[in-house]
Structure 1
């Protein structure tokens, strides 16, 4: 088991969102065998693997539907490690800008179900991925829990300018 570090930034307006992220910043290494270290009869680096640095770009839009509190958010995620590129698509439903749930298609690998909630500036999420091909097909799926802090940045909001009326002078 090893620590895997990721970082990203996102930009959200009322009707559009986009983001960039770098995954596996520390390029964690692991041994693909079940033992905690290299077997005694193998060279230390012969079975040692490293997860390569990869980049993600996401974009989507917000569509208000039948109820003012409900939004449908179609989105796309482009993932690349500069040797392999994949496109994932998703549709998320958001209720009251606080609760969300959705489904995604992970290229040819499978699909995911996810849900989340926002409490103050902390966004929490859960996802379950089901694999239909590849190495994860026999695994029974995977679970993911995420936490994100949302920094309030008011870069484009103008402060009201003080003024004096000439009638009152």
Structure 2
């Protein structure tokens, strides 16, 4: 019966996700700055030269039907456009791919030097979303026998836009925007996603994707000077706050960097304690983080694993009047 209860729980979750009156929420990442375009479209081109970033997250692997999310992005600064351009592809799977959400977005960020020490980035993003639902993997209440579990055929038929293979699908367009301000050792930003509140319902009816607001702020404190005999040490405290349709998330943490090595610790209010390690080898970066669940799911979730990789390339034409933001890499 424990297995049946788990399946029933997943069914109820998916029912709310696809229902006409339900609201979806975006996938989460905990290596925020290793996925800069996802955090804030204004971060496009902040490395200057071309950058490719890959991110993988396995959330709650001990539960049946864990959330698996992957992203890949490319961005760089353009002298002609006086700003950064970026393209990112995201895929999120839930319930053993019962629900699949894929997106592709294009972002542009205008880089404005306000003074000799302070700059603003203004970003805009356009995204195409495509959602899929495998009706064949869903279970419903009329299939349950109180003693023997799921033994009956359901009378609930697929509805909405149904493909030949029986999958439900929905495509929609949304827009986002962001702003970042930074000086040599301080930065802050704000991003607003789904500004047009698109309809994401996979069945008959309307389900508006609520706007998502993110505010982030941090600093980079350097200790000592780097030389050929001694590595430089830096401390980077950060705070990130997210709000979406009544759901609020507060992340407070810090990174410590020594030479090529980075270690970080974060606290997500009432939910998780996050540990991060990373290596920055110049042209290549790698990071790993683990979310230690401290909510009521502690004994069942298995935490969350996240991996990130970034490849940083040299430029043929060096960016002119370009300023690098000193935010962390992981």
Moved more, 118-127 or 106-115: 118-127
- Is 1:90 aligned to 2:253, yes or no? yes
CA contact under 8 A between 2:240 and 2:250: conserved in structure 1? yes
Structure 2 counterpart of 1:58, from 190, 212, 216:
216
CA distance change for structure 1 residues 86 and 157 in 2, over 3 Å: closer, same or farther?
A: closer
SS in structure 1 at match of 2:289: strand
SS in structure 2 at match of 1:26: strand
Q: Distance in 1 between matches of 2:287 and 2:247?
A: 27
**CA RMSD, Structure 1 to Structure 2 (Å):** 4.3
Q: In the alignment, which residue of structure 2 is the partner of 1:73?
A: 236
Q: In the alignment, which residue of structure 2 is the partner of 1:127?
A: 289
Q: Distance in 2 between matches of 1:71 and 1:111?
A: 22
CA distance change for structure 1 residues 76 and 99 in 2, over 3 Å: closer, same or farther?
A: same
Q: Distance in 2 between matches of 1:36 and 1:90?
A: 42
SS in structure 1 at match of 2:305: strand
- Is 1:99 aligned to 2:261, yes or no? yes
Q: Which runs of 5+ in 2 are unaligned?
A: 1-96, 112-117, 140-152, 160-201, 227-231, 324-330
CA contact under 8 A between 2:101 and 2:130: conserved in structure 1? no
TM-score by structure 1 length? Answer: 0.61
Q: Distance in 2 between matches of 1:87 and 1:25?
A: 28
Q: CA deviation at 1:143?
A: 0.4
Q: CA deviation at 1:121?
A: 3.5
Q: Distance in 1 between matches of 2:239 and 2:300?
A: 27
Q: Distance in 2 between matches of 1:137 and 1:36?
A: 30
TM-score by structure 2 length? Answer: 0.35
Q: Which runs of 5+ in 1 are unaligned?
A: 159-169
Structure 2 counterpart of 1:37, from 137, 145, 149:
137
How big is each residue's C-alpha offset from its partner over 1:73-109, in whole Å with a ceiling of 9 and x where there is no partner?
A: 100112222432321011110112x321111001110
CA contact under 8 A between 1:90 and 1:103: conserved in structure 2? yes
Report the count of equivalent residues. Answer: 146
SS in structure 1 at match of 2:137: coil
CA contact under 8 A between 2:262 and 2:277: conserved in structure 1? yes
CA distance change for structure 1 residues 25 and 72 in 2, over 3 Å: closer, same or farther?
A: farther
Structure 2 counterpart of 1:26, from 129, 136, 140:
129
CA contact under 8 A between 2:240 and 2:251: conserved in structure 1? yes
CA contact under 8 A between 1:6 and 1:21: conserved in structure 2? no
Q: Distance in 2 between matches of 1:44 and 1:136?
A: 35
How big is each residue's C-alpha offset from its partner over 1:102-125, in whole Å with a ceiling of 9 and x where there is no partner?
A: 110011102110111223333321
4+ residue runs over 6 A deviation: 6-9, 18-22, 48-53
Higher normalized contact order (CA 8 Å, seq sep 6+, divided by chain length): 2
More helix by share: 2
Q: Distance in 1 between matches of 2:133 and 2:296?
A: 20
